[in-house]
Amino acid sequence: MRTNKMCAILGNAHESRELLPLTEKRPLATLPFDCKYRLLDFALSNVVNANIKSVYMVFNQGRTKSVFDHIGGGREWHLDSIESRFFIHFYQDVLQKRADGENYYEAAIDYLKKSKSEYTVFIGNKMICNIDLRGVLKSHQSNDSKLTVVYKKMPKDQIAYQDLILTINENGQVEEQNRFYDEQSDTELKNLCMNIFIMNTKWLIYALEEGQKKGGPASMQEFLALCMELYPTTAYEYTGFLSNVFDIKSYYEANMSMLEPKKFSSLLYADRKIFTKLKNEVATYYSGDSDVRNSQFATGCIVEGVVRNSLFSRNAHVEKQAEIHDSVVMANAVIKKGAIVKYAILDKNVEIEAGVKVTGTPEKPIVIKKGQKIKEDIFGGE
Protein backbone atom coordinates (compact mmCIF):
# COMPACT_ATOMS: atom_id res chain seq x y z
CA MET A 1 0.00 0.00 0.00
CA ARG A 2 1.48 3.35 -0.95
CA THR A 3 2.35 5.55 1.98
CA ASN A 4 -0.49 8.06 1.79
CA LYS A 5 -3.26 5.67 0.74
CA MET A 6 -4.84 6.14 4.16
CA CYS A 7 -4.53 8.67 6.96
CA ALA A 8 -5.84 8.16 10.48
CA ILE A 9 -7.80 10.10 13.10
CA LEU A 10 -7.64 8.73 16.65
CA GLY A 11 -10.47 10.05 18.79
CA ASN A 12 -9.40 10.05 22.43
CA ALA A 13 -11.89 12.55 23.85
CA HIS A 14 -14.24 9.90 25.30
CA GLU A 15 -13.82 9.35 29.04
CA SER A 16 -15.78 7.10 31.38
CA ARG A 17 -16.54 8.16 34.94
CA GLU A 18 -16.90 4.48 35.78
CA LEU A 19 -13.10 4.15 35.38
CA LEU A 20 -12.32 6.61 38.18
CA PRO A 21 -10.00 6.80 40.07
CA LEU A 22 -7.78 5.13 37.44
CA THR A 23 -8.44 7.97 34.99
CA GLU A 24 -8.27 10.76 37.55
CA LYS A 25 -4.87 11.96 36.33
CA ARG A 26 -4.52 10.17 33.00
CA PRO A 27 -6.72 9.78 29.89
CA LEU A 28 -8.37 6.45 29.21
CA ALA A 29 -6.01 5.99 26.25
CA THR A 30 -2.91 5.76 28.48
CA LEU A 31 -4.28 3.25 30.99
CA PRO A 32 -1.64 0.50 31.46
CA PHE A 33 -2.49 -2.90 30.01
CA ASP A 34 -0.89 -6.33 30.28
CA CYS A 35 2.24 -5.22 32.18
CA LYS A 36 3.97 -3.09 29.54
CA TYR A 37 1.37 -1.69 27.13
CA ARG A 38 -1.06 1.25 27.13
CA LEU A 39 -4.51 1.17 25.51
CA LEU A 40 -3.30 3.74 22.97
CA ASP A 41 -0.66 1.27 21.74
CA PHE A 42 -3.29 -0.86 20.05
CA ALA A 43 -4.87 1.93 17.98
CA LEU A 44 -1.42 3.25 17.00
CA SER A 45 -0.15 -0.23 16.13
CA ASN A 46 -3.24 -1.03 14.05
CA VAL A 47 -2.56 2.18 12.14
CA VAL A 48 1.16 1.68 11.48
CA ASN A 49 0.63 -1.99 10.60
CA ALA A 50 -1.56 -0.73 7.75
CA ASN A 51 1.39 1.42 6.57
CA ILE A 52 -0.36 4.63 7.60
CA LYS A 53 2.18 7.41 8.11
CA SER A 54 -0.06 10.37 8.94
CA VAL A 55 -1.96 10.39 12.26
CA TYR A 56 -4.19 13.06 13.84
CA MET A 57 -5.00 12.53 17.53
CA VAL A 58 -7.62 14.30 19.60
CA PHE A 59 -7.26 14.52 23.40
CA ASN A 60 -8.80 16.44 26.25
CA GLN A 61 -6.87 19.52 27.30
CA GLY A 62 -4.85 19.19 30.48
CA ARG A 63 -4.68 15.38 30.22
CA THR A 64 -1.82 14.89 27.79
CA LYS A 65 1.25 14.67 30.03
CA SER A 66 1.15 10.88 30.11
CA VAL A 67 0.46 10.86 26.35
CA PHE A 68 3.63 12.80 25.54
CA ASP A 69 5.61 10.80 28.09
CA HIS A 70 4.55 7.60 26.35
CA ILE A 71 4.62 8.56 22.67
CA GLY A 72 7.63 10.89 22.76
CA GLY A 73 8.75 11.40 19.18
CA GLY A 74 6.81 8.38 17.94
CA ARG A 75 9.93 6.31 17.27
CA GLU A 76 8.50 2.96 18.43
CA TRP A 77 5.59 3.33 15.99
CA HIS A 78 7.87 4.52 13.14
CA LEU A 79 6.22 7.94 13.23
CA ASP A 80 9.53 9.80 13.49
CA SER A 81 10.70 9.27 9.90
CA ILE A 82 10.87 12.00 7.25
CA GLU A 83 7.77 10.69 5.49
CA SER A 84 5.73 10.30 8.71
CA ARG A 85 3.99 12.84 10.89
CA PHE A 86 1.52 12.99 13.76
CA PHE A 87 -0.53 15.81 15.23
CA ILE A 88 -2.31 16.30 18.55
CA HIS A 89 -5.36 18.55 18.85
CA PHE A 90 -7.48 19.45 21.88
CA TYR A 91 -11.17 18.57 21.97
CA GLN A 92 -11.91 21.66 24.08
CA ASP A 93 -10.78 23.85 21.17
CA VAL A 94 -13.43 22.20 19.00
CA LEU A 95 -16.07 22.74 21.69
CA GLN A 96 -15.12 26.42 22.11
CA LYS A 97 -15.25 27.12 18.39
CA ARG A 98 -18.62 25.42 18.15
CA ALA A 99 -19.93 27.54 21.04
CA ASP A 100 -18.60 30.68 19.33
CA GLY A 101 -20.27 29.81 16.02
CA GLU A 102 -16.96 29.24 14.23
CA ASN A 103 -15.92 26.41 11.90
CA TYR A 104 -15.16 23.89 14.62
CA TYR A 105 -13.97 21.11 12.29
CA GLU A 106 -11.54 23.49 10.61
CA ALA A 107 -8.39 21.86 12.07
CA ALA A 108 -9.52 18.33 11.13
CA ILE A 109 -10.51 19.41 7.61
CA ASP A 110 -7.16 21.18 7.16
CA TYR A 111 -5.36 18.00 8.26
CA LEU A 112 -7.38 15.85 5.86
CA LYS A 113 -6.68 18.14 2.91
CA LYS A 114 -2.95 18.27 3.62
CA SER A 115 -2.71 14.50 4.09
CA LYS A 116 -3.51 13.97 0.38
CA SER A 117 -4.81 10.53 1.37
CA GLU A 118 -7.52 8.83 -0.60
CA TYR A 119 -9.07 7.19 2.48
CA THR A 120 -9.38 8.02 6.18
CA VAL A 121 -9.74 5.65 9.12
CA PHE A 122 -11.21 6.82 12.44
CA ILE A 123 -10.54 4.82 15.63
CA GLY A 124 -12.04 5.39 19.08
CA ASN A 125 -10.14 4.91 22.34
CA LYS A 126 -11.70 2.13 24.43
CA MET A 127 -11.56 -1.00 22.29
CA ILE A 128 -8.51 -3.26 22.59
CA CYS A 129 -8.01 -5.25 19.40
CA ASN A 130 -5.49 -6.24 16.75
CA ILE A 131 -7.25 -5.61 13.44
CA ASP A 132 -6.10 -5.68 9.84
CA LEU A 133 -7.19 -2.26 8.59
CA ARG A 134 -6.06 -3.14 5.09
CA GLY A 135 -8.69 -5.86 5.07
CA VAL A 136 -11.33 -3.35 6.18
CA LEU A 137 -10.20 -0.99 3.42
CA LYS A 138 -10.55 -3.71 0.78
CA SER A 139 -14.08 -4.37 2.00
CA HIS A 140 -14.86 -0.64 1.80
CA GLN A 141 -13.47 -0.43 -1.73
CA SER A 142 -15.68 -3.30 -2.88
CA ASN A 143 -18.96 -1.57 -1.99
CA ASP A 144 -20.70 1.68 -2.85
CA SER A 145 -21.29 2.86 0.70
CA LYS A 146 -20.05 6.19 2.00
CA LEU A 147 -18.92 4.57 5.25
CA THR A 148 -17.68 1.20 6.44
CA VAL A 149 -18.03 0.53 10.16
CA VAL A 150 -16.41 -2.31 12.10
CA TYR A 151 -18.47 -4.38 14.56
CA LYS A 152 -18.12 -7.55 16.62
CA LYS A 153 -20.72 -9.87 18.12
CA MET A 154 -20.33 -9.46 21.88
CA PRO A 155 -22.17 -10.76 24.96
CA LYS A 156 -24.35 -8.32 26.88
CA ASP A 157 -22.11 -8.23 29.94
CA GLN A 158 -19.24 -6.82 27.85
CA ILE A 159 -21.20 -3.85 26.50
CA ALA A 160 -21.58 -0.44 28.14
CA TYR A 161 -25.02 1.12 28.44
CA GLN A 162 -24.11 3.96 26.02
CA ASP A 163 -22.45 1.74 23.36
CA LEU A 164 -23.95 1.56 19.88
CA ILE A 165 -25.65 -1.68 18.81
CA LEU A 166 -26.06 -2.18 15.05
CA THR A 167 -28.88 -3.86 13.17
CA ILE A 168 -27.42 -5.28 9.94
CA ASN A 169 -29.48 -6.50 6.98
CA GLU A 170 -28.79 -9.52 4.76
CA ASN A 171 -26.72 -7.35 2.39
CA GLY A 172 -24.32 -6.35 5.15
CA GLN A 173 -25.68 -2.80 5.39
CA VAL A 174 -26.38 -0.99 8.66
CA GLU A 175 -30.15 -0.76 8.87
CA GLU A 176 -30.47 0.75 12.33
CA GLN A 177 -28.43 1.74 15.37
CA ASN A 178 -29.44 2.02 19.01
CA ARG A 179 -27.76 2.72 22.28
CA PHE A 180 -27.46 -0.47 24.29
CA TYR A 181 -29.91 0.81 26.93
CA ASP A 182 -32.51 1.31 24.16
CA GLU A 183 -31.85 -1.96 22.33
CA GLN A 184 -34.98 -4.11 22.25
CA SER A 185 -33.88 -7.55 21.00
CA ASP A 186 -33.36 -10.31 23.57
CA THR A 187 -30.49 -12.07 21.76
CA GLU A 188 -27.46 -12.83 23.95
CA LEU A 189 -24.92 -11.61 21.37
CA LYS A 190 -25.13 -8.03 20.12
CA ASN A 191 -23.52 -6.35 17.11
CA LEU A 192 -21.29 -3.96 19.04
CA CYS A 193 -20.05 -0.95 17.07
CA MET A 194 -16.27 -0.82 17.61
CA ASN A 195 -16.03 2.89 16.73
CA ILE A 196 -13.75 2.12 13.79
CA PHE A 197 -14.78 3.72 10.49
CA ILE A 198 -13.23 3.90 7.03
CA MET A 199 -14.38 6.39 4.40
CA ASN A 200 -13.22 8.28 1.33
CA THR A 201 -11.35 11.38 2.46
CA LYS A 202 -12.99 13.72 -0.05
CA TRP A 203 -16.41 12.60 1.11
CA LEU A 204 -15.44 13.03 4.77
CA ILE A 205 -14.29 16.61 4.12
CA TYR A 206 -17.60 17.35 2.41
CA ALA A 207 -19.59 15.71 5.22
CA LEU A 208 -17.71 17.65 7.91
CA GLU A 209 -18.20 20.96 6.09
CA GLU A 210 -21.91 20.30 5.70
CA GLY A 211 -22.25 18.92 9.22
CA GLN A 212 -20.83 21.97 10.96
CA LYS A 213 -23.15 24.22 8.95
CA LYS A 214 -26.03 22.32 10.52
CA GLY A 215 -24.54 22.33 14.03
CA GLY A 216 -23.56 18.67 14.10
CA PRO A 217 -21.80 17.03 17.09
CA ALA A 218 -18.38 18.36 18.07
CA SER A 219 -17.18 14.80 18.68
CA MET A 220 -15.93 13.14 15.50
CA GLN A 221 -17.08 9.77 16.85
CA GLU A 222 -20.61 11.06 17.46
CA PHE A 223 -20.59 12.77 14.07
CA LEU A 224 -19.73 9.51 12.28
CA ALA A 225 -22.41 7.67 14.26
CA LEU A 226 -24.89 10.26 13.00
CA CYS A 227 -23.59 9.76 9.46
CA MET A 228 -24.60 6.08 9.66
CA GLU A 229 -28.21 7.27 9.86
CA LEU A 230 -27.83 9.67 6.94
CA TYR A 231 -25.62 7.80 4.47
CA PRO A 232 -25.32 4.18 3.21
CA THR A 233 -23.02 2.30 5.60
CA THR A 234 -21.52 -1.16 5.19
CA ALA A 235 -20.75 -3.27 8.28
CA TYR A 236 -17.47 -5.21 8.53
CA GLU A 237 -17.43 -8.04 11.05
CA TYR A 238 -14.30 -8.39 13.17
CA THR A 239 -13.80 -11.88 14.63
CA GLY A 240 -10.56 -11.51 16.58
CA PHE A 241 -9.95 -10.76 20.25
CA LEU A 242 -11.72 -7.67 21.61
CA SER A 243 -11.92 -6.08 25.05
CA ASN A 244 -14.32 -3.20 25.53
CA VAL A 245 -12.98 -1.08 28.42
CA PHE A 246 -15.68 1.07 30.02
CA ASP A 247 -15.56 0.51 33.79
CA ILE A 248 -13.31 -0.95 36.51
CA LYS A 249 -14.63 -4.50 36.09
CA SER A 250 -14.17 -4.54 32.29
CA TYR A 251 -10.66 -3.09 32.66
CA TYR A 252 -9.76 -5.71 35.26
CA GLU A 253 -11.17 -8.54 33.13
CA ALA A 254 -9.35 -7.27 30.02
CA ASN A 255 -6.05 -7.54 31.85
CA MET A 256 -6.82 -10.89 33.46
CA SER A 257 -7.77 -12.35 30.07
CA MET A 258 -4.12 -12.03 29.07
CA LEU A 259 -3.37 -14.93 31.44
CA GLU A 260 -5.34 -17.16 29.06
CA PRO A 261 -2.84 -18.39 26.41
CA LYS A 262 -5.34 -18.42 23.54
CA LYS A 263 -6.46 -14.83 24.11
CA PHE A 264 -2.92 -13.64 24.82
CA SER A 265 -1.63 -15.12 21.55
CA SER A 266 -4.61 -13.88 19.54
CA LEU A 267 -4.05 -10.27 20.60
CA LEU A 268 -0.27 -9.99 20.91
CA TYR A 269 1.16 -12.71 18.69
CA ALA A 270 -0.89 -12.33 15.55
CA ASP A 271 0.79 -11.52 12.22
CA ARG A 272 0.61 -7.85 13.21
CA LYS A 273 2.93 -6.69 15.98
CA ILE A 274 1.79 -4.44 18.83
CA PHE A 275 4.34 -1.69 19.47
CA THR A 276 4.93 0.12 22.74
CA LYS A 277 7.46 2.40 24.40
CA LEU A 278 10.74 0.58 24.95
CA LYS A 279 12.77 0.72 28.15
CA ASN A 280 16.18 -0.86 28.62
CA GLU A 281 15.91 -2.34 32.11
CA VAL A 282 17.18 -5.38 33.94
CA ALA A 283 15.11 -8.55 33.87
CA THR A 284 12.75 -9.42 36.71
CA TYR A 285 14.46 -11.15 39.64
CA TYR A 286 12.88 -14.20 41.31
CA SER A 287 14.44 -15.17 44.64
CA GLY A 288 14.77 -18.75 45.83
CA ASP A 289 11.83 -18.17 48.20
CA SER A 290 9.47 -16.92 45.49
CA ASP A 291 6.50 -19.01 44.37
CA VAL A 292 4.95 -17.79 41.11
CA ARG A 293 2.21 -19.42 39.03
CA ASN A 294 0.26 -18.26 35.98
CA SER A 295 1.46 -14.65 36.18
CA GLN A 296 3.22 -12.08 34.02
CA PHE A 297 5.88 -9.53 34.89
CA ALA A 298 7.41 -6.61 33.05
CA THR A 299 11.09 -5.78 33.55
CA GLY A 300 12.80 -4.65 36.73
CA CYS A 301 10.53 -6.41 39.27
CA ILE A 302 11.77 -8.16 42.42
CA VAL A 303 9.75 -11.19 43.49
CA GLU A 304 10.37 -12.80 46.87
CA GLY A 305 6.85 -13.86 47.86
CA VAL A 306 3.86 -15.78 46.50
CA VAL A 307 2.16 -14.67 43.26
CA ARG A 308 -0.87 -16.31 41.62
CA ASN A 309 -2.81 -15.27 38.52
CA SER A 310 -1.54 -11.68 38.49
CA LEU A 311 0.07 -9.12 36.20
CA PHE A 312 2.88 -6.76 37.18
CA SER A 313 4.15 -3.63 35.46
CA ARG A 314 7.77 -2.46 35.68
CA ASN A 315 9.80 -2.23 38.91
CA ALA A 316 7.23 -3.69 41.30
CA HIS A 317 8.47 -5.44 44.46
CA VAL A 318 6.85 -8.37 46.27
CA GLU A 319 8.65 -8.87 49.57
CA LYS A 320 9.10 -12.16 51.45
CA GLN A 321 5.95 -13.82 52.80
CA ALA A 322 3.76 -11.38 50.85
CA GLU A 323 0.99 -12.88 48.71
CA ILE A 324 -0.63 -11.50 45.56
CA HIS A 325 -3.62 -13.29 44.02
CA ASP A 326 -5.73 -12.41 40.96
CA SER A 327 -4.54 -8.80 40.82
CA VAL A 328 -3.21 -6.12 38.48
CA VAL A 329 -0.16 -4.34 39.87
CA MET A 330 1.18 -1.21 38.16
CA ALA A 331 4.68 0.25 38.08
CA ASN A 332 6.78 0.82 41.21
CA ALA A 333 4.26 -0.79 43.57
CA VAL A 334 5.64 -2.35 46.75
CA ILE A 335 3.88 -5.16 48.61
CA LYS A 336 5.68 -5.53 51.91
CA LYS A 337 6.42 -8.56 54.07
CA GLY A 338 3.38 -10.60 55.05
CA ALA A 339 0.86 -8.43 53.16
CA ILE A 340 -1.93 -10.22 51.28
CA VAL A 341 -3.59 -8.75 48.18
CA LYS A 342 -6.50 -10.43 46.37
CA TYR A 343 -8.70 -9.21 43.51
CA ALA A 344 -7.20 -5.74 43.42
CA ILE A 345 -5.83 -3.12 41.04
CA LEU A 346 -2.83 -1.33 42.53
CA ASP A 347 -2.00 1.88 40.66
CA LYS A 348 1.53 3.28 40.27
CA ASN A 349 3.70 3.89 43.34
CA VAL A 350 1.29 2.16 45.73
CA GLU A 351 2.70 0.66 48.93
CA ILE A 352 0.93 -2.05 50.90
CA GLU A 353 2.44 -2.05 54.38
CA ALA A 354 3.64 -5.20 56.13
CA GLY A 355 0.89 -7.56 57.25
CA VAL A 356 -1.94 -5.55 55.67
CA LYS A 357 -4.75 -7.37 53.82
CA VAL A 358 -6.43 -5.90 50.72
CA THR A 359 -9.24 -8.12 49.47
CA GLY A 360 -11.79 -7.46 46.75
CA THR A 361 -13.95 -9.80 44.67
CA PRO A 362 -13.94 -10.84 40.98
CA GLU A 363 -17.11 -8.77 40.49
CA LYS A 364 -15.78 -5.75 42.37
CA PRO A 365 -11.99 -5.58 42.42
CA ILE A 366 -10.57 -3.02 44.83
CA VAL A 367 -8.72 -0.07 43.29
CA ILE A 368 -5.89 1.54 45.25
CA LYS A 369 -5.19 5.03 43.95
CA LYS A 370 -1.83 6.14 42.62
CA GLY A 371 0.76 6.85 45.31
CA GLN A 372 -1.30 5.64 48.28
CA LYS A 373 0.25 3.88 51.29
CA ILE A 374 -2.17 1.36 52.73
CA LYS A 375 -1.63 0.80 56.46
CA GLU A 376 -4.93 -0.82 57.41
CA ASP A 377 -6.90 -3.79 56.08
CA ILE A 378 -9.44 -3.20 53.29
CA PHE A 379 -12.15 -5.77 52.51
CA GLY A 380 -14.79 -6.04 49.84
CA GLY A 381 -14.34 -2.62 48.24
CA GLU A 382 -14.99 -0.69 51.44
Q: What is the pLDDT of residues 288-303, one digit of tens each?
A: 999 999 999 999 999 9
- Angle, nearest 10°, between helix axes 39-49 and 133-141? 50
How high is the pLDDT of residue 98? 93
pLDDT tens profile 230-288 = 999 999 999 999 999 999 999 999 999 999 999 999 999 888 999 999 887 899 999 99
The DSSP bridge partners found for residue 122 are 9, 197
How high is the pLDDT of residue 381? 52
Query: Looking at the predicted structure, is the pLDDT value of residue 59 above 80?
Result: yes
CA distance 21 to 15: 12
Phi, psi of 166 (to 5 degrees): -100, 140
Q: What is the mean pLDDT of residues 347-358?
A: 98
How high is the pLDDT of residue 63? 79
Q: What is the mean pLDDT of residues 207-223?
A: 94
How high is the pLDDT of residue 62? 80
Whole-angstrom CA distances from 189 to 180, 225, 238, 321 are 12, 21, 14, 44
Question: What SS3 string covers the chain?
Answer: CCCCCEEEEEECCCCCHHHCCCCCCCCHHHCEECCCEEHHHHHHHHHHHCCCCEEEEEECCCCCHHHHHHHCCCHHHCCCCCCCEEEEEEHHHHHHHHHCCCCCCHHHHHHHHHHCCCEEEEECCCEEECCCHHHHHHHHHCCCCCEEEEEEEEEHHHCCCCCEEEEECCCCEEEEEEEHHHCCCCCCEEEEEEEEEEEEHHHHHHHHHHHHHCCCCCCHHHHHHHHHHHCCEEEEECCCCEEECCCHHHHHHHHHHHHCHHHHHHHHCCCCCCCCCCCCCCCCEECCCCEEECCEECCCCEECCEEECCEECCCCEECCCCEEECCEECCCCEECCCCEEECEEECCCCEECCCCEEECCCCCCEEECCCCEECCCEECCC
CA distance 68 to 65: 5
Q: What is the mean pLDDT of residues 26-47?
A: 95
Query: Looking at the predicted structure, is the pLDDT value of residue 202 above 70?
Result: yes
% of residues, the chain, pLDDT over 70: 97
Of 165, 135, 155, 160, nearest to 236 (Cα)? 135
Query: Looking at the predicted structure, is the pLDDT value of residue 1 above 50?
Result: no
184 pLDDT band, cuts 50/70/90, is: low
4 pLDDT band, cuts 50/70/90, is: low
Note whether 310 and 325 are within 8 A (CB): yes
Position 13, amino acid:
A
Position 281, amino acid:
E
Q: What is the mean pLDDT of residues 119-140?
A: 96
The pTM of this model reads 0.94
CA distance 331 to 335: 12
Phi, psi of 262 (to 5 degrees): -65, -45
% of residues, the chain, pLDDT over 90: 83
Between 57-71, 202-216, 218-232, 294-308, the lowest mean confidence (pLDDT) is in 57-71
How high is the pLDDT of residue 82? 63
Q: What size, in residues, is the chain?
A: 382
